[in-house]
Structure 1
C-alpha cells in the first residue's frame, strides 16, 4: 500500500499539534510523559517536532490524558484554518 503525500495543510496541522503538546509538557521530561502515555520518547519527539504529523488517534488520546488536555481543545487548536 502506497501512502499519499501529506498536503501542506496537513503538515501544518501536525506542527501545531506538536507545539501544543510541547507547551503542555512544560518542564516535564519527554521520557516521563512518553512513558506515562505508553510511548517511546522517540515517538513523542517526532510528534513534537512535526516529523510525525499524523499520529494515530490512540497515541494522541494517550498523550492528551497524560497532559490533561481535552480532545476538544486539541481539535480546536489543530483544525485546519479556513482560507
Structure 2
C-alpha cells in the first residue's frame, strides 16, 4: 500500500493532537498511560511530539479513553481550521476541559 505524503495541514493537525494529549496526560507518566491504553510508550511519545501526525483511530481512542477525553471534543479541537475560533464555549483553556 502506498501512503500519500502528509500535507502541511496534516502535520499541524498531528502537532495539535499531540499537544492536547500531552496536556491531558498531566503528571501521569508516558509509560503508565501507554500501558493502560495498550500502546507502546514510544508510540505515545511519537504522537505527543507530533512525529506521528496521523495515528490510527484505535490508538487515539484508547489513549483518549485512558485520559478520560471526549473524542468529539478532541476532534473538534484538532480538526478546526487554523485561525478559526474555538468551538462555542471553548475559551483559551478549552484543551484543559476535554474531559467527558
What is the TM-score with the length of structure 2 in the denominator? 0.79
Gaps of at least 5 residues in structure 1 are none
Which has more helix, going by share of residues? 1
When the two chains are superposed, the root-mean-square deviation of aligned CA atoms in Å is 1.2
Structure number with bigger Rg: 2
Unaligned runs of 5+ in 2: 84-100
Number of residue pairs the alignment of both structures matches: 83
* 1:8 corresponding residue in structure 2: 8
Structure 1 runs (4+) deviating above 2 angstroms are none
> TM-score scaled to structure 1, two decimals?
0.95
In the alignment, what sits opposite 1:64?
Answer: 64
* CA shift for structure 1 position 77: 0.8
Q: Which has the higher contact order (CA 8 A, sep 6+)?
A: 1
